[in-house]
Chains A and B, each alone.
Chain A
Amino acid sequence: EVYLEESGGGLVQPGGSLRLSCAASGFTFSSYWIHWVRQAPGKGLVWVSRINSDGSSTSYADSVKGRFTISRDNAKNTLYLQMNSLRAEDTAVYYCGRGRDWGFDYWGQGTLVTVSS
């Protein structure tokens, strides 16, 4: 069974940093693109970033470009999102999603990031 589990969320001050992880199991992790998608409280889903299967190619939404870095460790079946210079508007539940045919098929349950002083 495909399983994705996010971790690393929490409370951080504006300007601070946080690293999220997404642990994968039940499929050949190294064969799939993986995405980060976030959802601010009471708001809709927003695509954040994506990484290809071997980690050689990444892309970002304009709102996080230059502040967030997506990476992966295929030996550990784990995806990461390094978030720097955090702002209040980055407060959201962050989901990882497995890429499939230019969409997403499986999702984790999410991890909450709160940026507040």
Chain B
Amino acid sequence: QTVVTQEPSFSVSPGGTVTLTCGWRSGSVATNYYPSWYQQTPGQAPRTLIYNTNVRSSGVPDRFSGSILGNKAALTITGAQTDDESVYYCVLYTGSGIWVFGGGTKLTVL
């Protein structure tokens, strides 16, 4: 069973805004889980977007932002572009030196 939950798929129109979420099966996600977000296209290595909840990685445009929304971590993409079509993964630090990835959200832009 997946302990870190993500929407399996999401769709957004070009120019639109989408918020992907990252939940923890056992409870709420807070900043002490240090949520981070990664983008991956087929055949490529992951690309880091956000770490430590809301810190953008070097070179990542500011239309990508991270936050805590309610009891989940969230990645918001504003002004979606066609090349944002990717799989997005979150990862949580669960303590005791263990990190857990979510199953990924496949984002379609059309």
- Contact across chains for A61 and B98 when beta carbons are under 8 A apart: yes
Flag if B55 contacts A45 (CB, 8 Å): no
Tell me how many residues of B have a C-beta within 8 Å of chain A: 27
Q: Say yes or no: B100 contacts A47, CB within 8 Å.
A: yes
- Which listed residue, A35, A61, A95, A101, touches B52 by the CB 8 Å rule? A101
Cβ-based interface call for B91 (8 A)? yes
Most buried by B among A44, A50, A59: A44
A110 to chain B, nearest CB (A): 6
- CB atoms of A109 and B51 under 8 A apart: no
CB of A103 within 8 A of CB of B34, answer: yes
Contacts of A11 in B (CB 8 A): none
**Most chain B Cβ neighbours within 10 Å, of A37, A45, A50, A109:** A45
A103 pairs with B97, CB closer than 8 A: no
With known contacts A101-B34, A101-B51, A102-B93, A107–B46 Cβ distance under 8 A: yes
> Helix, strand, loop or mixed for chain B's interface?
strand
CB distance from B33 to the nearest CB of A (A): 8
* CB under 8 Å from chain A, chain B span 7-50: 34-36, 38, 40, 45-48
Chain B proximity of A86: nearest CB distance (Å): 21
Which of A95, A102, A106 sits near B34, CB closer than 8 Å? A102
Contact B36 A95 (CB under 8 A): no
**A109 to B48 Cα, complex, angstroms:** 13
What are 11 A-B residue pairs whose CB atoms fall within 8 Å in the complex? Answer: A37-B46, A44-B87, A44-B103, A45-B89, A45-B101, A95-B46, A97-B46, A100-B48, A101-B51, A104-B46, A104-B91
Closest 5 CB pairs of A and B: A59-B97, A103-B36, A102-B34, A103-B51, A101-B52
Known: A59-B98, A100-B48, A102-B34. 15 other contacts (CB 8 A): A44-B87, A44-B102, A44-B104, A47-B98, A47-B100, A101-B34, A102-B52, A103-B48, A103-B91, A104-B36, A104-B46, A104-B91, A107-B46, A108-B45, A110-B45
